[in-house]
Amino acid sequence: MQIIKTTEDLRTFCDAANLAPYVTVDTEFLRERTYYSKLCLVQLALPKEVGGQAVIVDPLIEDLDLSPLSDLFRNTDVVKVFHAARQDLEIFWIDEKVFPEPLFDTQVAAMVCGYGDQVGYETLVRKIPNATVDKTSRFTDWSRRPLSDAQLEYAISDVTYLRDIYEHLSAELDRTDRRAWVEEELAILTDPTTYEIEPDQAWKRVKTRTNSGKFLAYVKELAAFRERHAQTRNIPRNRVFKDDALVELASTKPKTLKDLSKSRLLLREARKGDIADGIIDAIGAASKYTPEMFPKPSTGREKLNVNPALADLLRVLLKAKSDQSNVAQKMISSVSDLDAIAAGVRDVPALQGWRKQVFGDDALKLCEGQVAIGLRGNKVRLIEL
């Protein structure tokens, strides 16, 4: 195992990786004290057939330039293999404005290949290469130096076993002709809009007990200020103020620092300085909203007229189709999508793409009364009507 601390060494490894069919990748990062993830390690491994070199890149070295890694990510002749890639991809997009392409996510592939919902890396290590991962270093502060040998071994194991897992799942996708299914899912992961948070849309993540447009105007302005403040200072949004304090402020509408001091839920640090000024400015901005400017809450599927009997039948059908296709249920359809279908909604993922073939076509037939559900032994079967 090599620890890469210079740009020259990174370029040497990436030159070799650019000639390989694939490279496995993982990261270690911290996010507890920042808005954006702080990249602490990058682990990389080459296939065994080309020597199997595995390295750990230390991006905290001040003079280390990651551009050779970015160039590798842009090389479409080399597959970049991750497990549960979303957070890793967010880091590379935010920091380097690059997505690894082509991408292979073993968690997504495992769900298509019958390993269950959101299967963990340790489970795949146990089931495919028949090995175990020492978890004692899982909760390491990866920003601290030096790292122990045990911590480094734990980090590198995230890419060494990944080679066997990738090769096994890749062969299984070819055998079942389902590679296109995985690629359809991964297109979402390489869409920049997946990772870009617009402050003006931050209010939609705040849970409130009322959908009053006037009240939501204050929620919107407060949430937008909090998001911008957290982004520019790279601190967690809850360090500015938490959701419960935001809702309280939207209700009490403080106009002065004296009013702000009466808040029960606001942190002491937020009652003065830039945060206090920002809160008061946000309240002032929201007070100027006219009715046509009020935020319009999502109608929400909770208000749909769901046929509960049909929803239950769709759940039975989903279980049957999951067992039949050996694809995780959550990969095919969410519970909320089933309820939406039972309420007459047709613009849902479960009725599109490969899901339509596996589940959606028969789900629509069930909704339209063209088929019924019966049992033959322990197996669910569809009966044409």
Q: Which helix (H) or strand (E) holds 26?
A: strand 22-30
pTM: 0.89
What is the architecture of the domain spanning 301-384? Orthogonal Bundle (1.10)
- Average pLDDT by stretches of 10, the chain with 385 residues: 96 98 97 94 97 97 96 98 97 95 97 92 96 89 95 97 98 96 92 92 93 96 98 96 97 96 93 96 98 83 81 96 94 94 95 96 96 88 90
The answer to whether residues 238 and 230 touch, using CB atoms and an 8 Å cutoff, is no
Q: So what's the pLDDT on residue 302? A: 55
Q: So what's the pLDDT on residue 60? A: 97
- Residue whose tokens read 């001040």: 62
* Assigned CATH topology for domain 199-293: DNA polymerase; domain 1 (1.10.150)
Q: So what's the pLDDT on residue 26? A: 98
The whole-angstrom separation of Cα 365 and Cα 369 is 6
The CA-atom distances, in angstroms, between 67 and each of 17, 29, 64, 81, 164 are: 14, 19, 9, 19, 28
Q: Which two tokens stand for residue 65?
A: 């330039």
Q: So what's the pLDDT on residue 284? A: 97
Does domain 2-194 match CATH 3.40.50.2300? no
